[in-house]
Homo-oligomer: A and B are copies of this chain.
């Protein structure tokens, strides 16, 4: 099942493909690969096929159909669905069935999508892994916390899936599994009805196998929702049109190593050196301004303090059922003082402003690794998110692109970071970059 969401939607609209056949093909692919990949935590074939048949019927009725009509989508199991359980990766929420769809689920359904099922998340979208394995090599982690969504899309089980990122939970698994992953500007896609860890850091993200599909999904998902105070009423962004454009002049890219560069594996450093050389005068290496280098500490303070507040009920009522890692995080968070928390929050805006200058003065995007290397061997850890931390803290849009490969044959992700609220422009620059790499 290698059809893209955009092609599938078009064929369904034109009547050359039925959603039922598409969903059947997805289910077949899942039956074949799921024993190895274990990307799904809830899948009701009949319910999925029922939605597909309803989409087909709607199309046949001659009524207007949405841009995702009949297209199956997987949802990380922290995203509420009124018709499926949402268990947040913890036994404490086993059997939990929300009354309402998350805002993004309502938007997907309004666009005609078939909600195929729920994908594996790490425990409460933090570090303790679920059962999912890397589709390229089951001995390697798929990354996390959106493990199942990344693996399902990369394995061709579904063309689109949603995840979330509070540190590196979209960009890293996308890189490890070899999918495109998109983390939008903070506040672009509403988080209403999604497990809240940190309103400052939480982002909804999208996985797909093409940039066109990322744009297709983002166009439907972006926008104000009164349940998410970090969203704002804004004009609708024509993601698909902008992402499909050629840049009017060739972009200028800033290659930023970040203070995490010392954690990058030798083959990552080499691969990026080659990539930068291949891009020639379109890339310039740029040093981060000093204030940005403290961002990792501020991120830690904010994440720990906010997660401790948001997971307080779980900690109070069932801390013995939480993993040691999560329990320790909450306990650290409970000790954070309000003054330190506020100080960390207050540092975000000035760093955002410095990046604004960087983008307005010269650069179209920042190029940086998505992770220190390819997916690490073993399933006990989901890998290192530190190449994502800074962009998550300051809410810049980022996309992970499966453009490189490690010596072990596993994908090596390239991360491109854009200016705040220029998400569609970032996808346009990403498409340009993919073309350059393909041509090189």
- A interface vs B, CB < 8 Å? 305-306, 308-309, 312, 333-343, 346
Contacts and interface: CB of A to CB of B under 8 A. Distances in A.
B339 A312 contact: yes
A337 B335 CA distance: 6
A337 B337 contact: yes
Identical chains in the assembly: 2
Contacts of A333: 338-339
A340 B339 contact: no
15 contacts: A305-B342, A306-B342, A308-B338, A309-B338, A309-B339, A309-B342, A309-B343, A309-B346, A312-B343, A333-B339, A334-B339, A337-B337, A337-B338, A338-B338, A341-B341
A306 B338 CA distance: 8
A342 B342 CA distance: 10
Contacts of A337: 334-338
Contact of A340 (B338, B340, B343): B338
A189 B308 CA distance: 34
Nearest to A349: B229
Nearest to A306: B342
A332 to B, nearest CB: 11
Q: Which of A308, A333, A341 is the most central at the interface, judged by chain B CB atoms within 10 Å of its CB?
A: A341
A279 to B, nearest CB: 36
A48 to B, nearest CB: 36
A341 B337 CA distance: 9
Contacts of A309: 338-339, 342-343, 346
Contacts of A339: 305, 308-309, 312, 333-334, 336
A342 B341 CA distance: 10
Q: Which of A305, A309, A312, A338 is the most central at the interface, judged by chain B CB atoms within 10 Å of its CB?
A: A338
Contacts of A305: 338-339, 342
A285 B276 CA distance: 73
Contacts of A312: 339, 343
Q: Which 5 residue pairs are nearest across A and B when measured between Cβ atoms?
A: A305-B338, A338-B341, A309-B342, A336-B338, A309-B339
A309 B308 CA distance: 20
A343 B334 CA distance: 12
A343 to B, nearest CB: 6
Nearest to A342: B309
A334 B333 CA distance: 16
A234 to B, nearest CB: 11
Q: Which of A309, A333, A334, A339 is the most central at the interface, judged by chain B CB atoms within 10 Å of its CB?
A: A339
A198 to B, nearest CB: 10
Contacts of A336: 337-339
Nearest to A199: B342
Contacts of A342: 305-306, 309, 341
Nearest to A334: B339
Nearest to A312: B339
A87 B312 CA distance: 42
A338 to B, nearest CB: 4
Given A306-B338, A308-B339, A338-B341, 11 more contacts: A305-B342, A306-B342, A308-B338, A309-B338, A309-B339, A309-B342, A309-B346, A334-B339, A338-B340, A341-B341, A341-B342
A139 to B, nearest CB: 39
Nearest to A232: B232
Contacts of A338: 305-306, 308-309, 333, 336-338, 340-341
A337 B339 CA distance: 8
A425 to B, nearest CB: 22
A336 B340 CA distance: 10
A335 B335 CA distance: 10
Contacts of A334: 337, 339
Contacts of A343: 309, 312
